[in-house]
Copies of this chain bind each other. A is one copy, B any other.
Amino acid sequence: MAARPCSIANALDVIGERWSLLALREVLLGQRRFAQIAANTGASRDILATRLRKLVDRGVLAKEQYEEHPPRYEYVLTEAGRALAPILHELMQWGDTYVTEGPAPTAWEHSCGAELHTVNVCVHCGEPANPGESKLVRLGGVPQAPR
């Protein structure tokens, strides 16, 4: 039986590796250079180079030259890369709640002045999108019968 056609699986093909997401975390934090990303993630240089190359190939990061002699590059986020910021924030919140022991290592303050905690809401009605409150209308390309 073939796996379901699925955009979660497709997304994980691009960003589903641990060091890819941690490298993206660093670029989102403003660390654009290879050595900084390696130091702050703890990734081995070989693996990190492979992951960064893939993120560039798949359009999540772009390389910008910042020095000509010798040629040196830094990594910047594309639109697709910036769109991962909320997902990383949610992963952080989940880790704070269910994995990390002790206080949250990292905290953000929202522009409203409160410490940033986020919730996923429906764009249309603004209400939280809790599991069980939505019904499947199509799954893996197959329309679903109303329940």
Question: A residues near B, CB below 8 A?
Answer: 1-14, 16-18, 21-22, 25, 28-29, 39-42, 58-60, 80, 82-100, 103-112, 114-127, 129-131, 133-141
Contacts and interface: CB of A to CB of B under 8 A. Distances in A.
Which residue of A41, A89, A95, A133 has the most chain B CB atoms within 10 A of its CB atom? A95
7 contacts: A1-B39, A4-B40, A6-B92, A7-B100, A10-B99, A86-B90, A105-B139
A105 B121 CA distance: 21
A118 B28 CA distance: 21
Contacts of A127: 110-112
Given A86-B90, A131-B82, A134-B108, A22 B2 contact: no
